[in-house]
Amino acid sequence: MFFRRYIGDRAFYGKLFRVLLPILVQNVISNFVSLLDNIMVGQVGTEPMSGVAIVNQLLFVFNLCIFGGLAGVGIFTAQYYGKGDDEGVRHTFRAKLYVALGAFAAFALLFLLAGETLIGLFLHEGREALDLAATLRSGREYLRVMLLQMLPFAVCQVYAGTLRETGETVLPMKAGIIAVFVNLVCNYILIFGKLGLPALGVVGAAIATVLARLVECSIMVVWTHRHRERNPFIAGAYRSLRVPGALARRIVRLGTPLLVNEVLWSAGMTTLNQCYSVRGLEVVSAMNISSTVSNLFFCAFFATGSAISILIGQLLGAGELERAVDEDRKLIAFSVALSVAVGTLMVCVSPLIPEIYNTTPGVKALACTLLYVSAAAMPMNAYTNSCYFTLRSGGKTIITFLFDSAFLWCLSVPAAFVLTRLTALPIVPLYIAVYSLDLIKCGTGFYLVRKRKWVNNIVSFEAEAAPSAGA
């Protein structure tokens, strides 16, 4: 009974890996190159590395806003595709363009007007007397160039998300792989001044990222339009930018909580890091190393979460509700089991990677300890991540908002604020105390998934409305 409930058959895992592996490979390569990018910048010095890390924290909010806004529309895309409705997919593609361009305009204006002020919030004296002014200067220079990659990133995610939700996961993987290698090669040339070019440091890293984003976006757009027979939604997609009013209202009603959730969640994580930065600039550097390495290993359950969203969304859209419940339970079990294996590997390499960085021994030791904590918490993160994507696949976006962002802002952020401002607790026990609050989130996720309120077909309203409309 246990094996039948939590472990699938060969056909189940075949379907899972067809969706999972391209996403996982792309994420692993992308995060691995981000790690190499981080190491290259780290060779320039601790202050430049910290400046880049702070700016990337700010851009993280923009990236998650894009992901959240497009994911809200993507719920409809996956279910329209499961239903076989190309016109519905086309409408959601247009809605995604509006979301992406709106988010780009808002964040570009924010960073232009208040970028330096936002960077300054993370700059605090610590025990190792690092240069705060040099960190601010590096961050300002890096942000100025990184603004140029925001638009191609937003457009690329519109195409990549729609392709994945309609069953094409390989092309986004290939485009991502090409882009990260462009980024890696250009980083090496521009940061250190190879092939006769000047050494540009953090500015070179930013230029390399811009070039990589442009390459990735170009591949996605050109391939999609040249293969209309495989992507029927793109035929006539720009003939009109109209989105039907009824669909737009449903997207706003279901998608807005998800967009707000991603913005608040990413802002909350950035606020947590700002709280930790009160303990000194060396904490910013150590957390940068830890998070960059952790993200490489976290790809395991992040990719599984994306697979849950796609596979369960398609089953719900096709009306196979009981099958969706059964396969979701097996996908969650797979995610947790995978995270245990990956977390064990992460423990083994945690002492090695910080030694690659050109930084102080104190920063290296702290980064290693933070990596141990992240590895121990990986199964917990995998479970909550799977619960989140399960709830989202059925359109329960208000519940996901409460589960994700409300939890973070009502418990984790206040706890970090109080502990950093009103106590002298060292950073490691402080970090563990805040992290352990996610155990409450695990219990909440178990309850919400088991209640099955997420088991919904959110696109069936059109099929039901069609006979009366024809009459």
Taking residues 330-340, what's their average pLDDT? 93
User: Is residue 463 in some structural domain?
Assistant: no
User: Is residue 242 in some structural domain?
Assistant: yes
CB 79 within 8 Å of CB 225: no
Taking residues 446-460, what's their average pLDDT? 81
Taking residues 226-236, what's their average pLDDT? 91
Q: How far apart are CA 201 and CA 47, in angstroms?
A: 12
- Model pLDDT, residue 317: 79
Q: Give the model's confidence band at 107: pLDDT under 50 very low, under 70 low, under 90 confident, else very high.
A: very high
Percentage of the chain lying above the pLDDT 90 cut: 42
CB 224 within 8 Å of CB 232: no
Q: Give the model's confidence band at 30: pLDDT under 50 very low, under 70 low, under 90 confident, else very high.
A: low
User: Is residue 197 in some structural domain?
Assistant: yes
Taking residues 52-78, what's their average pLDDT? 86
pLDDT above 50 for 278: yes
User: Is residue 461 in some structural domain?
Assistant: no
Taking residues 267-272, what's their average pLDDT? 88
- Model pLDDT, residue 443: 92
User: Is residue 26 in some structural domain?
Assistant: yes
pLDDT above 50 for 464: no
- Model pLDDT, residue 470: 34
Range of the domain at 255: 7-454
- Model pLDDT, residue 113: 94
User: Is residue 134 in some structural domain?
Assistant: yes
Q: For the chain, how many structural domains are there in total? A: 1
The pair of structure tokens assigned to 439 is 């155990």
What integer best gives the mean pLDDT of the chain? 87
User: Is residue 77 in some structural domain?
Assistant: yes
The pair of structure tokens assigned to 49 is 């590395």
- Of the listed ranges 59-68, 140-149, 345-354, the least confidently predicted one is 59-68
Model confidence pLDDT, tens digit, residues 123-147: 877 666 667 888 899 999 999 999 9
Q: How far apart are CA 448 and CA 294, in angstroms?
A: 27
Higher pLDDT, 257 or 118: 118
Q: Is 240 left (phi over 0), alpha (psi -120 to 50) or beta?
A: beta
Among 48, 49, 55, 37, residue whose Cα is nearest residue 190: 37
- Of the listed ranges 35-44, 68-77, 204-213, 332-341, the least confidently predicted one is 35-44
Among 23, 30, 17, residue whose Cα is nearest residue 295: 30
- Model pLDDT, residue 459: 65
User: Is residue 231 in some structural domain?
Assistant: yes
Higher pLDDT, 453 or 385: 385
pLDDT above 50 for 463: no
The radius of gyration computed from the CA coordinates of the chain, to the nearest angstrom, equals 22
Model confidence pLDDT, tens digit, residues 152-198: 999 999 999 999 888 887 898 899 889 888 998 999 999 999 999 99
Taking residues 434-440, what's their average pLDDT? 92
CB 72 within 8 Å of CB 255: yes
